[in-house]
A and B are shown apart, each in its own frame.
Chain A
Amino acid sequence: MNKHSMRRLVAVGAAAALAVGALAGCSSGSTAGSGKVTLTWWNNATADPLKGLWQDVAKEFEKTHPDVTVKVTGYQNEDLQKTLIPNALRSNTPPDLFQAWGGGELKDQVAAGYLKDISSQIKPQLTAIGSAASGWQIGGKTYGLPFQYGIEGFWYNKDLFSKAGITAAPTTLTELNDDVTKLKGAGITPIAVGAGDKWPAAHWWYNFALKDCSPAVLKSAQAKHVFTDKCFVQAGTDLQKFIATSPFQDGFLATPAQQGAGSSAGLVANGKAAMELMGQWDPGVMSSLTDDKKVPSFLGWFNFPGIPGSAGDPTAALGGGDGFACSVKAPPECVQLLQYIVSVDVQKRFGASGAGLPVTKGSESSITDPNLAAVLKGKADASYVQLWLDTTYGPTVGGAMNDGIVNLFAGKGTPQDIVKGMTDAAATE
């Protein structure tokens, strides 16, 4: 290499370094000069009523805090969770207040020092919200607050149930099996499941684990990511037995959960299947998949039945929530906005909008929607609520767990494989 090309190389290198530097320089600060504060707020509300509610909340907050401007943006949920927020955190340009789903993901974010410890400022709010907030607490410290928390259960078609001669919702696994037989006898597809999206299938195993494992075992598994208790294999064995009774629709492995009339929600909404296991958002999804765009009037709800003779609590419920967390770089006003969001007033309006189940005590009365009211009653009847297991264990173990469960649905894996996949994934964390 002669001197000439050497110089050229150096020039190219310098230019490249400049370009990279320029790219990395596109950052923004949240505080402007002269006491004015801009709060950026990312949430998952892309449609009304929730989108409008958050905009109103932002405006009201600006009114009571004249120095604050709130920039509120709604993004599609999965994009926000899997791409936008992680990238913003990694590139050190996070929004001030942003959606937080709790559990293992929050744990990773806290470990990397991205989130503000708000424990000392939100004590009264924490009391009002109660145990639902535990998913946003790590090691006794609070890093976010939920504004809604729902549980899942079976959304079922009352008309099809009575057509099959079923008079009451099942409360034990044995009764559920009997009902499946009755529905099949009446020529009705008993259960729809959107296994093509993986998580709807995975939730079946979560519920079996919830009803097979004692609360103490689940708690320690959550903290240590150790799944040696035999109840985890038992959950898979029970699920395998259940799948063997072919309760699901044809081609369930490729069925999406929410897209089109052929999805699991679409099948139930249009009377093609008698029930599906799904969260409290399901009636809203179903209404978008029917011809008249209305929530089907035949819907009923019951919690996943208990398993007789198992260590699990038959009245436990599985659920999850949406919350917000403040970035560690956020100005103090961020916490004040969060306090306002979980105030009884805003929570009541949230409940009245029908967008979900509020968490602050005193806001329950705002629920008028009969389907949400049924879930609210289910939540009150539950002895405790376990956060979705994939959220709890975080993306690494959660992803391996969900894949293992789908393999079981496909007849390609064993109950032991699920637990082994989770254990192996935990070892790579």
Chain B
Amino acid sequence: MEHTKIERLLEKYFQGETSIAQEKELTNYFSGSDVAQHLEQYKPLFGYFSLAKEQTISREIQLKTKKSSFAWLSIAASVVVLLGVGMYVYTSSNPVDAHEKLGTYTNPDEAFKATQKALALLSNHVNTGIGSVQYIQEYDNSKDEIFTK
């Protein structure tokens, strides 16, 4: 009696015409113990459906993505690059400023005088340097006195 009903339901099932309630009825029938011999072959099918519904995800869902931390990393990296470039431009442009601040002469005479003054200053300092080297000459003299004999 029940078997014929199940057979009819199965036929409808394979035609795609059963409702959810009817499909539940089939699942219940095949999970029971008194399945007719000739319908036994459908047991694994409905058994699998119930089993497959129990599968759950084992991993925790992370809402903070790796992508967003990557974005932060790239922002940090670009800041570093900007700082680097900034520092380079800042330091390399400064000496140019320093040169400009030294000023320059427009009048050739004035420039000549200034140059002479600078060179005189230089030679003056060089002479004082040489003056202190004069002592060394004394060693040379004493050496000559000793070794000429």
Q: A and B, one complex?
A: no
